[in-house]
């Protein structure tokens, strides 16, 4: 389950300075117990009955992350300190996978002249390197004009700039910015078949390739408990949960607000592995703000798969409260790394006749107070 024994602690030279990890003073076993206890208390306080055992699923106690957002400030590249609003300059980090650590080490040889910036480093499933520099417009212009730094970076990685994720392209004498480009920066899974997911370096994905496989296995297994089900998915993003769910259901309606994410999903569907091309015939994609208003009728679906933002499902659940009990979907699969807002939604689902049949913690964020929760609910 873990790269170290549960009674050991992960060593870190920055543990007294960096605020990135809150639990380095605890053994991994104590972290596991603490997260299970916290989730149990949240369920109890929200008056959500669950009589089973919370399963804790882990890919390891450290070195999982294949992407991380760093802050650059006054020459320091890292994460904020515990004691003051200042950046801890990180040369190494126990959160990073070996391939991401190697990328950080090489990236740090480039001394960026900007006073302040956000930097995302990412490695793809096959070791591809990417960097997203979120800079002020004046700094983006300076970088384009200076040229040498961008040449250095592009010889080593794929580069995206600014909030709009523009791609600098060399025109022979100067750099020009072109529109965002979707590449296979992440992957999902159907059984043991890896499916490349197309997105940007700056796109939201789960943080770890290894931990994500555990999530995909759970989703495919749970959807498979309801053979030939028709599923509506809220927050499909680039398709990380969509693809394993598609493999186990008769039809899936994917709902997402972000246009770039949907472009990535469509590209993923176009380039599915040969053994999975039939999945294209089972999906329908809709774009819209489904937290405000759901245009689809829940009565047309056997189940819902949801992975909402921090704010939770909000208006997505409103139609359920107006439906006859027998017309509501038979099951809900809810995934969230924000257990507090998740409890609010689970309580609403309980009030319209759903009960929690299974709940798991997937520890994507070892050594920190954060964790991913997956819950399977069924209509009574």
Report, as residue numbers or ranges, the catalytic residues. 337
Kindly report the backbone phi and psi dihedral angles of residue 302, in degrees, each rounded to the nearest multiple of 5, phi listed first: -90, -20
| Among 180, 156, 183, residue whose Cα is nearest residue 168 | 180
> By three-state DSSP, how is residue 284 classified?
strand
**Which residues pair with residue 166 across a beta bridge?**
161
Handedness of CA 183, 256, 369, 3 (dihedral sign): negative
∠ at Cα 79 (77, 81), nearest 5°? Answer: 115
Taking the C-alpha atoms of residue 242 and residue 328, their distance in angstroms, rounded to an integer, is 21
Contacts of 289 (CB under 8 A, 6+ apart): 257
Euclidean distance between the first and the last CA atom of the chain, given in angstroms as a whole number:
34
Q: Output Rg (C-alpha) for the chain, integer angstroms.
A: 22
DSSP letter string, 132-169: EEE--HHHHHHHHHH-HHHHHHHTTSEEEETTTTBEEE
CB-CB contact of 226 with 215 (8 Å): no
Taking the C-alpha atoms of residue 29 and residue 55, their distance in angstroms, rounded to an integer, is 14
Provide the token pair at 92: 């190494």
Would you report the helix, strand and coil content of the chain in percent, each value rounded to 5? 30, 30, 40
CB-CB contact of 187 with 195 (8 Å): yes
């Amino acid at each position: 389950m873990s790269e170290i024994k549960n009674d050991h602690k992960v060593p870190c030279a920055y543990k007294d300075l960096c605020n990135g990890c809150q639990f380095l003073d605890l053994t991994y076993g104590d972290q596991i117990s603490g997260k299970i206890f916290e989730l149990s208390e949240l369920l109890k306080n929200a008056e959500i009955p669950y009589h089973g055992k919370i399963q804790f699923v882990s890919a390891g106690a450290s070195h999982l992350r294949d992407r991380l957002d760093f802050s650059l400030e006054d020459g320091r590249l890292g994460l904020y300190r515990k004691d003051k609003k200042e950046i801890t300059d990180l040369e190494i980090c126990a959160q990073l996978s070996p391939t991401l650590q190697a990328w950080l080490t090489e990236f740090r040889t480039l001394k960026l002249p900007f006073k302040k910036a956000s930097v995302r480093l990412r490695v793809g499933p096959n070791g591809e390197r990417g960097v997203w520099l979120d800079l002020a417009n004046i700094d983006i212009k300076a970088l384009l004009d200076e040229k040498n730094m961008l040449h250095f970076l592009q010889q080593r990685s794929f580069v995206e700039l600014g909030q709009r994720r523009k791609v600098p392209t060399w025109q022979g004498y100067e750099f020009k910015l072109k529109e965002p480009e979707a590449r296979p920066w992440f992957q999902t899974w159907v059984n043991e078949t890896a499916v490349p997911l197309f997105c940007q370096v700056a796109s939201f994905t789960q943080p770890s390739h290894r931990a994500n496989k555990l999530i995909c296995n759970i989703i495919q297994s749970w959807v498979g408990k309801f053979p030939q089900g028709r599923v509506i998915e809220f927050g499909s993003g680039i398709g990380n949960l969509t693809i394993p769910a598609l493999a186990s259901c008769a039809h899936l309606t994917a709902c997402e607000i972000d246009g770039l994410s949907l472009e990535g999903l469509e590209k993923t569907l176009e380039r599915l592995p040969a053994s999975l091309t039939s999945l294209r015939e089972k999906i329908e994609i809709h774009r819209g703000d489904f937290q405000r208003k759901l245009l689809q009728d829940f009565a047309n679906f056997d189940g819902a798969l949801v992975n909402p933002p921090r704010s939770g499902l909000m208006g997505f659940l409103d139609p359920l409260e107006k439906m006859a009990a027998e017309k509501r979907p038979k099951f809900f699969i809810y995934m969230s790394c924000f257990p507090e807002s998740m409890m609010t939604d689970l309580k609403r689902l309980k009030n319209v006749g759903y009960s929690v049949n299974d709940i798991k913690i997937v520890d994507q964020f070892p050594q920190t107070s954060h964790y991913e929760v997956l819950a399977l609910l069924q209509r009574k």
